[in-house]
Structure 1
């Protein structure tokens, strides 16, 4: 939570979009049970998340990117149809803000690992988008007995935040309050964050709160922090290559799903292939936020990877 105790918007049912999400991805029949859960990490902060088919142990745990939240994965998880747990990373959604404002993958990984310790018994697949993907790699390295596969969505450790993620950072921090959801949708489309106005409006509605003056602001902590200094390490995630390289030795293979219009250029994808020759690359048409822009295609790609693992284990 923020210093003043404020929370994301709670004026409407947070699950109000599920029926529309299911229709969008072609899922028929009754909706699965989706429930909000929470876990307390060692310093007594709360990490919140959404359990899909909560009566069954999750087969995968989904980690969103910077400035998003667990609901970003709703359409993809409905299309996938597997028991899953989607977490609000610390500082996002309904998870508490970190008092040290440390949202580096290493800090987030420690929190996610604590949640896995409390919630997971059988090995799961970790599916992480952007910042969540880098976090997933470190979680898998720290908890190999709890992870059977890692799937990174449109991110590699070779990404340079200043060079490759500048537009995302500017979108999050460049304007801090808005008059309407439509205004934010227009801004997101200008920044190439998404293409479908309805999908963008849905995500924004679940990721904003109303200020005392009636204007909208982002609910996540990132939007309330100053931008990082220009003198930061241009490749702060390079050490995560080592975590990914070691995963195959622990029986947790990795894979990359790249958006053809996303953050990764040909050089970054080529670096992945060179460094991790046994880790497949799947390309999907869409922008960086594939789980919001192309959820059915993303679910199909994830399902193929998981089904391949299941066949190999038989």
Structure 2
């Protein structure tokens, strides 16, 4: 296992912490070699063993949780799912939750020593359910953020599909920032610059490309569809009800009021899992970015309840 620190990727944390009036915790980049030659990467915040593990959604990376982690103030592990962030792409392009769960299990076995409160947003939520069903001894509790099985969030707004299905490489990050803002993404320019920096890399030829595999798959699928040779597939399509039925840990569904899970979806979730808790946060689909303080408070309350304090 290799532990490395790239100070540039943590350069945004002081400003984020300042906004919340909280200290910046120690943080490091972890890398775990896998038996098939790939690697899984993660961020570990704090010096004590993590009690919370965070799994991001499609097209994102571990840094999407930065503000939530700062607000939480607890030792935390945020994993880059396969094909995202600094984790390896899969040659078979299989990014379904049960496949992703295998890497998460390897990471938990390597980097945690107590059952985790797993918080998974979107694709990460379905992946968390697959982990909890397959390896219940690793999971203390599961919080699923703005996803239920059957909802295809990759369909998304037309502008989002255009954004990821456009060019897969760019001359500069500034070009990508301008494109994102022109299509209405990213909030302020500073927020957009942060998001683009943390989700892109510079290739050997000097061109800038997305770190996550999904953008490249989307572009290829759209080209095939336009050529009439294939339909553009969904990048996120998994039922997952069987996994949820097999989870023995407590389960909470967080519905983003301005997100993808509608009240009817939450009611269906409650009907299928009557013991689960369902709550709502006034945020968009990426609750960890648009409602981080509220989400952190929910996670903290779960940790306190689990500790019996």
Say yes or no: TM over 0.5. yes
- Cα distance between partner residues in 1 of 2:301 and 2:184: 28
Relative distance call for 1:186 and 1:112 in structure 2 (3 A) is same
**TM-score normalized by the length of structure 1:** 0.83
CA contact (8 A) 2:96 2:238 kept: no
- Cα distance between partner residues in 2 of 1:175 and 1:98: 21
- Cα distance between partner residues in 2 of 1:36 and 1:76: 17
- Cα distance between partner residues in 2 of 1:43 and 1:212: 25
Offset at residue 76 of structure 1 (A)? 0.6
- Cα distance between partner residues in 1 of 2:277 and 2:63: 27
1:257 counterpart = 2:249: no
- Cα distance between partner residues in 2 of 1:89 and 1:271: 27
- Cα distance between partner residues in 2 of 1:234 and 1:214: 28
Offset at residue 182 of structure 1 (A)? 5.5
CA contact (8 A) 2:115 2:137 kept: yes
Corresponding residue for residue 221 of structure 2: 227
1:102 counterpart = 2:94: yes
Relative distance call for 1:14 and 1:236 in structure 2 (3 A) is closer
Corresponding residue for residue 26 of structure 1: 21
Corresponding residue for residue 196 of structure 2: 204
- Cα distance between partner residues in 2 of 1:278 and 1:167: 38
- Runs of 5+ consecutive residues of structure 2 not aligned to the other structure: 1-5, 223-229
1:14 counterpart = 2:15: no
CA contact (8 A) 1:62 1:86 kept: yes
CA contact (8 A) 1:165 1:263 kept: no
- Cα distance between partner residues in 1 of 2:157 and 2:96: 14
Corresponding residue for residue 237 of structure 1: 238
1:216 counterpart = 2:208: yes
Between the two proteins, the alignment pairs up a number of residues equal to: 295
1:310 counterpart = 2:307: yes
- Runs of 5+ consecutive residues of structure 1 not aligned to the other structure: 1-9
- Cα distance between partner residues in 2 of 1:273 and 1:157: 12
Offset at residue 160 of structure 1 (A)? 2.7
